[in-house]
């Protein structure tokens, strides 16, 4: 098990690297995280909802991404918790109620799943969440040391040394732990290091002398293009040759959609009307579409989008953003607001409902007189219907009855998440804007998620004492 001294310490990527390193050494490996909290979910191979981190770790293990690797997915929502268990929405309840009395039934089932994974694999790499030593939360814990204790997992603590205070954070964590937790700790890992390793030796000696626990790795700052998952991601403030602007709405979700645009070009995330401009403006997915629509109107961004369209910006809505660009949203389910007037840029209307569509999909994109087959996924409430004749932006492959994404002039809407991970299409898409600006055309990069995982894991392996980790196995 990998726990961390704080959120963002590097647990997810450390687990990803261990999954790939062990797979490459011939072991049968599976990932696991009991509970994840994120608005950035993805579709599993079963067509159910799971966390991005465990999806990536599944790929690292060479396995089909499955909800068994992430039993509980929480989505925070205006003081409430939206609970997804084993890929399906179960309930929406006050956060305090979930914290104090709803967890155990999910935890017990999750441990059964974990024990089954342990029986079926040589190794299971378990990821913790946040810090395992928050004194106000430990009695409610279902995702850190409670998991480690349930299966007697060898546990390693990761700390982000780039932030500073790593030794103090490790000491604080160990001091808060009881004897049972401390006895499970087998090593420390310092992450995101820049500098001379020898300067850390006195600290390593201190930790080993005090706790009898060795430091098993000092991992340098390693650049990578592996999608980020949670709200700790750094929102970019500058873009490249093409000015790409993503509206950072209060309930933005599935923002990993835009990572490839960052790699190819750069992206500006904005949240004020005065910043809304660019060659391409994107309205992203939303956890609460009606509330984000309301916010756009309150901030004047709706007016800024209309002005940008008039001055030549191309506007793309994805999922909730697509719904917002329509004429109306009828929402008696998600927000209870009833019928709301949309931005009116696309002749469609959306009706929200309790049923949630989660599916992997293959579609044909019609763009700039070219047809390209792309793959992605849908995670959404609501059905959208055209109110007038529209051009098709994308349609399902070999499915005459499937929903068509739409485009009208310089405004398009799609329900397809993961669109820009289709690099051939992304290059075509960006070249449309580059050609208009007289810029050199770009080509699809040979990057892939698997290749990024392999490259990152290879660097981590050089800086972790893997044989020490495997010593008792």
Look up residue 99 and give its DSSP letter.
Answer: I
| β-bridge mates for residue 375, sequence order | 362
In terms of residues, how long is the chain? 473
User: Rounded mean pLDDT of 428-455?
Assistant: 88
Q: Which one is catalytic: 15, 319, 381, 473?
A: 319
Residue with tokens 């055309």: 441
Residue 233 has pLDDT above 80, yes or no: no
Whether 473 is catalytic is no
Backbone angles phi, psi at 309, to 5 degrees: -60, -45
Residue 95 has pLDDT above 60, yes or no: yes
Look up residue 340 and give its DSSP letter.
Answer: E
Q: pLDDT grade, residue 232 (50/70/90)?
A: very low
Angle between helices 52-61 and 11-24 (to 10 degrees): 20
Lowest mean pLDDT among 26-30, 184-188, 254-258, 301-305: 254-258
Top-confidence residue, 170 or 287: 170
End-to-end Cα spacing for the chain: 14
Q: Tell me the per-residue pLDDT of 13-39, one tens digit each, with 9 for 90 and over.
A: 999 999 999 999 999 999 999 999 887
Cα–Cα distance for residue pair 46/64, rounded to 1 Å: 9
For the chain, domains (ranges, CATH) are: 2-225+451-469 (3.40.50.300), 237-446 (3.40.50.880)
| β-bridge mates for residue 126, sequence order | 32
Q: Tell me how far CA of residue 201 lies from CA of 33, 163, 166, 192, 416, in angstroms.
A: 32, 18, 13, 17, 50
User: Rounded mean pLDDT of 47-51?
Assistant: 86
CB-CB neighbours of 417 under 10 Å: 24
CA atoms within 13 A on the CB side of 264: 30
pTM to 2 decimal places: 0.81
Percent of the chain, pLDDT > 90?
62
pLDDT given for residue 35 in this prediction: 92
Look up residue 464 and give its DSSP letter.
Answer: B
Nearest to 346 by CA among 381, 309, 292: 309
| β-bridge mates for residue 4, sequence order | 158
DSSP line for 38-84? -S-EEE-TTS-EEEHHHHHHHHHHTS---GGG--EEEEEETTEEEEE
CB-CB neighbours of 446 under 10 Å: 7
pLDDT given for residue 236 in this prediction: 67
Q: Tell me the per-residue pLDDT of 391-405, one tens digit each, with 9 for 90 and over.
A: 889 888 876 556 679
Q: Tell me how far CA of residue 410 lies from CA of 82, 227, 257, 363, 423, in angstroms.
A: 35, 28, 20, 20, 22
Q: pLDDT grade, residue 229 (50/70/90)?
A: low
Residue 12 contacts residue 32 (beta carbons within 8 Å)? no
Cα–Cα distance for residue pair 415/425, rounded to 1 Å: 16
Dihedral angle, C-alpha 262, 73, 377, 455, nearest 10 °: 50
Q: Tell me how far CA of residue 157 lies from CA of 135, 164, 247, 248, 360, in angstroms.
A: 17, 16, 36, 33, 35
Residue 74 contacts residue 50 (beta carbons within 8 Å)? no
SS3 annotation, 17-36: HHHHHHHHCCCCEEEECCEE
Whether 43 is catalytic is no
Cα–Cα distance for residue pair 314/279, rounded to 1 Å: 6
Q: pLDDT grade, residue 358 (50/70/90)?
A: confident
């Amino acid at each position: 098990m990998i726990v961390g001294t704080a959120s963002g310490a590097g647990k997810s990527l450390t687990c990803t690297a261990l999954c790939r390193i062990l797979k490459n050494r011939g072991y049968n490996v599976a990932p696991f995280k009991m509970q994840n909290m994120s608005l950035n979910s993805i579709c599993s191979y079963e067509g159910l909802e799971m966390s991005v981190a465990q999806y990536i770790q599944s790929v690292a293990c060479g396995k089909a991404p499955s909800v068994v690797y992430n039993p509980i997915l929480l989505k925070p929502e205006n003081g409430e918790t939206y609970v997804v268990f084993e890929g399906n929405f179960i309930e929406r309840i006050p956060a305090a109620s979930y914290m104090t009395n709803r967890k155990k039934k999910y935890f017990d089932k999750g441990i059964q799943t974990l024990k089954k994974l342990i029986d079926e694999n040589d190794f299971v790499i378990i990821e913790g969440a946040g810090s395992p030593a928050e004194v106000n939360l430990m009695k409610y814990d279902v995702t850190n040391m409670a998991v480690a204790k349930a299966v007697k997992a060898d546990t390693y603590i990761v700390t982000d040394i780039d932030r500073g205070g790593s030794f103090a954070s490790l000491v604080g964590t160990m001091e808060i732990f009881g004897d049972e937790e401390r006895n499970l700790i087998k090593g420390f890992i310092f992450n995101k290091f820049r500098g001379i390793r020898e300067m850390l030796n006195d600290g390593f000696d201190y930790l080993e002398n005090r706790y009898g626990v060795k430091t098993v790795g000092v991992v340098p700052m390693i650049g990578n293009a592996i999608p980020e998952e949670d709200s700790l991601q750094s929102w970019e403030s500058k873009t490249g040759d093409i000015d790409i602007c993503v509206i950072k709405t209060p309930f933005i979700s599935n923002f990993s959609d835009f990572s490839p645009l960052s790699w190819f070009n750069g992206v500006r995330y904005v949240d004020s009307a005065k910043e809304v401009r660019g060659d391409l403006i994107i309205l992203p997915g939303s956890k609460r579409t009606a509330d984000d629509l309301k916010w756009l109107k309150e901030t004047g961004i709706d007016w800024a989008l209309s002005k940008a369209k008039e001055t030549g910006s191309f506007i793309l809505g994805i999922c909730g953003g697509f719904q917002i660009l329509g004429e109306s949203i009828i929402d008696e389910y998600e927000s209870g607001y009833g019928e709301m007037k949309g931005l009116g840029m696309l002749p469609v209307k959306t009706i929200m409902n309790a049923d949630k569509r989660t599916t992997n999909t293959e579609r044909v994109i019609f763009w700039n007189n070219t047809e390209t087959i792309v793959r992605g996924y849908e995670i959404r409430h609501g059905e959208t219907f055209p109110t007038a004749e529209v051009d098709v932006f994308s349609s399902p492959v070999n499915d005459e009855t499937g929903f068509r994404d739409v485009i009208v002039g310089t405004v398009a809407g799609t329900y397809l998440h993961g669109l820009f991970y289709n690099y051939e299409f992304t290059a075509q898409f960006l070249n449309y804007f580059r050609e208009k600006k007289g810029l050199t055309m770009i080509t699809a990069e040979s990057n892939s998620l698997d290749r990024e995982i392999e490259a990152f894991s290879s660097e981590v392996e050089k800086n972790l004492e893997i044989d020490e980790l495997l010593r008792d196995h």
